[in-house]
Amino acid sequence: MRLRDLGEWELLRRLAAYAPAGQFNDDAALLEERSGQQLVVNTDVLVEGVHFSDATIGPRDLGWRAAAANLSDLAAMGCTSVAGITVALVAPGDTAWSWVEGVYAGLRDALEPYGAVILGGDCSSGRERLLSITALGRLADGTAIRRGDGRPGDWLISSGPHGLSRLGLALLLEELEAAQVSPELRQRAIQAHRRPTPRLDAVAALHSTRPSGLPWRVGGTDSSDGLAAAVKAIAATSGCGAVLERSQLPIDPELAQLEAGEHWCLGGGEDFELVLALPPSWAEALLAALPGTSRIGSLVEAEPGLVRWQESGEALAAAEQGFTHFR
């Protein structure tokens, strides 16, 4: 049995047997601390040729994106502050120092708004360039966001538009002719691909909009693997189904006109928005307080993990599941 026979999800399922039960259920790991705060730790690895290439991203943007992807996982756990990151860098000996310098400058750029720093790390020679980043964040006890904390009746909320990062990649790879999109959308899509923003601001908005008397209970994850995968993960882990309103997909109107638009919105991935399951009163308050946020559907009593279209009742196509490693 080889890893490519297993695929990424089966591999992760098997690896979870080496950790405490449920430990791998969320975007990142929660550590109990004595202080009334909880620590969150998250590790992401970015491999040349798999996650990035010189053809589509320069070193400074790569550093930014690598840090932002990790901070997005902290936001997806409900972190309100970021302590910092450790960085393992692997690169061949003929790698230019200027490339490494750019990556670290980009990492620093992405951390600075949060008062976070590079805590440490390791370096090694190796055949391909690779970054493995571990981010540490904090949240107040009892205010975690968990994939499994959704309930039937919750509204599904997206913190922003989806598909832009994939559009940006398509433009950079020339899968799409530049003339097919307006210069304004092109610029926005490439920015979304190269300089995504982790949505820690959405966590702050969750705190400020919680209706009094409502206990903290927020289901959620980030959309790094795609919007449909995020909805499916919340529904499956929460033991319920989901309906999505096709007319309410969080997609740029111009992108929606492209043939691949809806597909990229659902499965493109790497938009690094938050997808949340909230009681309706809280969801309404969040929608009013946080520009760009929209309601995309609801959790419902149904087969766990089954995602259907509100309008047609049909299940979402499996093709929207996003990228899988090793296959």
When asked if residue 24 is in the footprint of a second copy (CB under 8 A), the reply is yes
Under 8 Å CB-to-CB from 262, ≥6 apart: which residues?
163, 249, 251, 256
Q: Is 11 exposed, middle or buried (0-12, 13-18, 19+ CB in 10 A)?
A: middle
129 within 8 A of 91, measured Cβ to Cβ? yes
**What is the distance of C-alpha 242 from the center of its chain?**
19
218 within 8 A of 278, measured Cβ to Cβ? yes
Nearer to a second copy, 130 or 255 (CB): 130
Q: CB under 8 A: which stretch of 121-129, 231-239, 261-269, 298-306 binds a second copy?
A: 121-129
At its nearest, how many Å lie between a second copy and the CB of residue 119? 4
Nearer to a second copy, 100 or 260 (CB): 100
- CA–CA separation, 18 vs 128, rounded Å? 28
Nearer to a second copy, 135 or 171 (CB): 135
Q: CB under 8 A: which stretch of 43-51, 213-221, 233-241, 258-266 binds a second copy?
A: 43-51
Residues 221-280 that bind a second copy (CB under 8 A): none
At its nearest, how many Å lie between a second copy and the CB of residue 281? 33
At its nearest, how many Å lie between a second copy and the CB of residue 258? 29
46 within 8 A of 325, measured Cβ to Cβ? no
When asked if residue 141 is in the footprint of a second copy (CB under 8 A), the reply is no
Using the rule CB under 8 A, which residue among 11, 140, 300, 302 binds a second copy?
11
When asked if residue 140 is in the footprint of a second copy (CB under 8 A), the reply is no
When asked if residue 149 is in the footprint of a second copy (CB under 8 A), the reply is no
When asked if residue 13 is in the footprint of a second copy (CB under 8 A), the reply is no
Q: CB under 8 A: which stretch of 11-19, 179-187, 215-223, 293-301 binds a second copy?
A: 11-19
For residue 146, CA distances in Å to 143, 163, 220, 278 come to: 9, 24, 6, 12
Nearer to a second copy, 101 or 311 (CB): 101
CB burial readout 130-157, b (16+ within 10 A) else e:
bbbbbbbbbbeeebbbbbebbebebbbb
Cα dihedral value 57, 61, 65, 66, nearest 10: 90
Question: Which residue carries 């008397």 as its tokens?
Answer: 213
Residues 75-114 that bind a second copy (CB under 8 A): 83-84, 86-98, 100-101, 104-105, 107-108
When asked if residue 118 is in the footprint of a second copy (CB under 8 A), the reply is yes
Using the rule CB under 8 A, which residue among 22, 50, 303, 311 binds a second copy?
50
